Amino acid sequence: MKSLKAQLHPISEPSFGLDLLEKSFPIDSNSSFKQKLTEIRLFPLQSTSIDILQINLGKMCNQVCKHCHVDAGPDRKEIMVRETMEYCLDVIKTHSIKTIDLTGGAPEMNPDFRWFVESIRAINPLATIIVRCNLTIILANPKYNDLPDFFEENRVEVVSSLPYFTAMKTDSQRGDGVFDKSIRALQLLNKQGYGVPGSGLILNLVYNPSGAFLPGSQEGLEIEFKKKLKEKFQIQFNSLFAITNIPISRFLEYLIRSDNYESYMEKLIENFNPAAAQGVMCRTTISVGWDGYLYDCDFNQMLELKVDSKDSQHISEFNYENLSQREIVVKNHCFGCTAGSGSSCGGTTA
Amino acid sequence: MKTYYNPDDLKKFGSITNLQKSMGDKFFSYYGEVFKEGALTAREKSLIALAVAHAIQCPYCIDAYTTDTMEKGCDEEQMMEAVHVAAAIRGGASLVHSTQMINKIKEISM
């Protein structure tokens, strides 16, 4: 499967999705995200701090998942260069940011990935370094087989997507054969100590619905995943993060193609939760694009909505004070993070 | 085209209180209480509801509890097994009545 961009699909243009979300039923001026925030006196939404620097190392990936908001895949060539990583390291050196969250694409496919992780660890021995690993990359090529060793050496936390504990649902979202490879990779990570109680090596899984519905209770899903993965495959992990699919990019294309767009948006709006809005991740995060530009979150990054901080839109001009007091750029796709129990890269927020 | 069942009518379910508020409110309060986590998990209750929805052949309930069971992390195999439970009870209910037929056969036969 090709990326939307390679297909020259109109949804690969951020303006297409933004226009649709701003103008189309069921959203009008009375039910817009801004209006909802205004009603609960949260507009404009303000940043409260910068606890997380989420860095997208590129859109290249060995998988082509049907819901991917990055539209990542083997045909995407955009990757972060070492010069941009050095700007990130300057920021990490100068400011005490608690969590460095590396994402992609498959971040491990960036040729400077290992150098970058080692450099972050050398600068800040105490920071939480997260790698969003798609699991199959560990088996994709012999040069990646030692990633579990590398992760352990650098005390990296691994966060991996596994939409379900059966092949049918996982493969329908992430591609044929992905489930079996993911299980083998999880077993290798467990062998390394990841996800094993007492090891100190953290392995968290991400659940997101394989279709046009919202995730149920994160707690209930975690219990079910732990039970089934242990029974069937002797796999252990620490926590399950339930994440809502955001209506942009490939998931938006699926919603439109399957005639689920209106009902899905209605569901997000109906389930707007003020507590989840208070706790949205963007208030404590800066997202860095592969080219160094700064965004409020990975979704705004894909929609090319840069931070509203005129003097500090690129990592090379990072101004902590201004960025930590910025107004978050919100649009109607933000309903995805405020529905039900809320959604963030670390799971529910309310 | 007019039909007896319209999927959009499910969204109007809450408005039944407009004609009889106190009974409607009591029903929805009871409904909410029933589906909370209890001695049975919310997931187990949702699968029971899906099976019952098929037994009573309510299209609104089938739509609602197909979505709800999927949201609660059930897969297609589990959902289909729940429907088979409903089918087995419905089929069994017919078949078990054949004992009455057999009794009557015996009663009126030489």
Tens digit of each residue's pLDDT (9 = 90 or more) over A130-174: 999 999 999 999 999 999 999 999 999 999 999 999 999 899 999
- Optimal mutation site among A171, A206, A217, A226, interface B, most CBs of chain B within 10 A: A217
Within 13 Å of residue A85, how many CA atoms lie on the same side as its CB?
A: 20
Q: Please report whether residue A167 resides in a domain.
A: yes
Torsion sign, CA atoms B44, B49, B50, B54: positive
Say what the pLDDT of residue A310 is: 83
Give the pLDDT score at B2: 84
**May I ask the CATH architecture of the domain B41-109?**
Up-down Bundle (1.20)
Contact A220 B43 (CB under 8 A): yes
CB contact under 8 A, A166 and B67: no
In a domain, A81, yes or no: yes
Q: Where along chain B do its domains lie?
A: 41-109
Distance CA A265, CA A12 (A): 20
Kindly calculate the radius of gyration of chain B based on its CA atoms and give it in whole angstroms.
Answer: 19
Is residue A8 assigned to a domain? no
**Which H/E stretch holds residue A129?**
strand A128-132
Q: Is residue A180 part of a domain?
A: yes
How many separate domains does chain A show? 1
Each residue's pLDDT tens digit, A68-90: 999 999 999 999 999 999 999 99
> Any CB–CB contact under 8 A between A213 and chain B?
yes
Domain contains A2: no
Determine the structural domain holding residue A63 and report its residue range: 15-338
In a domain, residue A7? The reply is: no
A54 near A101, Cβ under 8 Å?
yes
Instruction: Give the 3-state secondary structure of residue A130.
Output: strand
From A164, which residue of chain B is nearest by alpha-carbon distance?
B73
A92 within domain boundaries: yes
Q: Please report which helix (H) or strand (E) contains residue A295, including its range.
A: strand A294-295
Task: Give alpha helix (H) positions in chain A.
Answer: 14-23, 33-39, 82-94, 113-123, 137-140, 147-153, 167-174, 178-192, 218-233, 249-257, 261-270, 274-278, 298-302, 320-323, 335-338
Q: Tell me if B43 and A224 make a contact (CB, 8 A cut-off).
A: yes
- Give Rg (Cα) of chain A: 19
Task: Print the SS3 string covering A11-75.
Answer: HHCHHHHHHHHHHCCCCCCCCCHHHHHHHCCCCCCECCCCCEEEEECECECCCCCCCCCCCCECC
Q: Is the pLDDT of residue A25 over 80?
A: no
The pLDDT of residue A29 is 73
Q: Give contacts of A207 with chain B, Cβ < 8 Å.
A: 73
The CATH number covering residue A246 comes to 3.20.20
Q: What span, in angstroms and rounded, lies between the C-alpha atoms of A285 and A49?
A: 7
Distance, in Å, from the CA atom of A128 to the CA atom of A111, rounded to the nearest integer, reads: 22
In this structure, are residues A14 and A69 in contact, taking their beta carbons and an 8 Å threshold?
no
What's the rounded mean pLDDT across residues B45-59?
97
Q: Residue A86 and residue B66: Cα distance in Å, rounded?
A: 50
pLDDT value at position A24? Answer: 84
Predicted confidence (pLDDT) at residue A204 exceeds the cutoff of 80: yes
Q: Does residue A28 carry a pLDDT above 80?
A: no
pLDDT tens digits, A245-276: 999 999 999 999 999 999 999 999 999 999 99
> Closest chain A residue to B73 measured between Cα atoms?
A221
What is the rounded average pLDDT of the residues A87-97? 97
Is A214 an interface residue toward B (CB < 8 Å)?
yes
pTM > 0.95: yes or no: no
Mean pLDDT to the nearest integer, A111-117: 98
Return the closest-CA partner of residue A315 out of A331, A329, A327, A301: A301
User: How many residues are recorded in chain B?
Assistant: 110
pLDDT given at position A31: 85
Q: How far is B26 from chain A (nearest CA, A)?
A: 22
Whole-number pLDDT of residue A50:
97
List residues in chain B touching A: CB distance below 8 A: 41-43, 67, 70-73, 75-77
Q: What is the DSSP string of B60-105?
A: HHHHHHHHHHHHTT--HHHHHHHHHHHHHHHHHHHHHTHHHHHHHH
